[in-house]
Amino acid sequence: MASIVLSSCCVWPKPSLPNPKWTAGNRRRCGALALRVGPRGSEVPVGRAYPVVFRNLDADDFRHPLDKQNTLLLRAIPGLNELGKALLGPVAEQVMLLENIGTSVLVSENQLSNLHQLMVEAAKVLNTEAPDLYVRQNPAPNAYTLAISGRKPFIVVHTSLVELLSRRELQAVLAHELGHLKCDHGVWLTFANILTLGAYSVPGLGGLIAQSLEEQLYRWLRAAELTCDRAALLVAQDPKVVISVLMKLAGGCPSLSDHLNVDAFLEQARSYDKAASSPVGWYIRNAQMRQLSHPLPVLRAREIDEWSRSQEYKSLLKRAIQAEVAQKV
């Protein structure tokens, strides 16, 4: 989305009542010292209570190629970083900070401790510092990240998302948001969004400059989302968990969530690729995507399915397992 508040992934419902999907019997995790063959040939760790930890993980280890390419394009814009800092002054910082803190519940060891545990664990797996986490009452499922210069970043999740997702799916969403922070997406999102909004007020060519920058920003945002889906997989360590989140975002609700089929959704993604392969389909798909801040859910599902079977992902997982074994010896 093109807004002052930073982008992200998902949806969330209210945590006031116990979610049956969050019971102790549903706390099984991936992560282990061995791999098994998962969906469509992917390899996932098994046999342990917690995920494998990526102790030396760098953002570029999982950054999507399109994210790298479009980040370079943004950095090539003269003065973007400096102008963004000028636009994001102390007043704007305070407004965004108070808006989120004043209308949400801060998660901690003593407040919604299950959510706190999921965040701390996901941050450990991704080798990054856990930000503050807030839960905000909102019927529209969403989660977003805010990184303000000089302040500790924080993640906000809407209550509607909590009720929609299982415990592991919810942690995948938190991992997605952590991916934004680990890759420094927050700063670019804030600066670029404010710059785009400000450019519309420039007389003469302001509108043209803003339109061009907005299109470039959207391309970067979509690529950044693909990177953060990878961060979600690194924590979930099972592509079906991440794909299930995307499927529920596309057409899920609490009453239907237990009846959705991940394999059928992947088949739907392949049918979309087939329908868009003709010249007319290609044009329609590009027109459809041009003004979207996030890639289509079916395309994100296909991307994460393919990356889960890639040598790049398998090598990252193998390296983490080997480091864990070496530490135990």
177 is catalytic: yes
Return the structure tokens found at 50. 């917690």
Q: Supply the DSSP string of 201-216, one letter for each residue.
A: TSTTTHHHHHHHHHHH
Which runs of consecutive H residues, i.e. helices, occur in the chain? 65-75, 80-87, 90-102, 113-125, 159-164, 167-182, 185-199, 206-236, 239-251, 262-275, 279-289, 297-308, 311-328
Give which of 239, 195, 199 is closest to 220, Cα–Cα: 195
Give which of 174, 119, 127, 58 is closest to 324, Cα–Cα: 127
Give which of 240, 293, 172, 220 is closest to 65, Cα–Cα: 220
The three-class DSSP label of residue 133 is: strand
Where do we find the tokens 């009720």?
Answer: 163
217 close to 73: Cβ distance less than 8 angstroms: no
15 close to 135: Cβ distance less than 8 angstroms: yes
Return the structure tokens found at 315. 């090598």
Number of C-beta neighbours around residue 18 at 10 A: 8
Task: State the catalytic residue, choosing from 169, 177, 225, 324.
Answer: 177
Which residue type sits at 116? H
Q: Which residues are catalytic?
A: 177
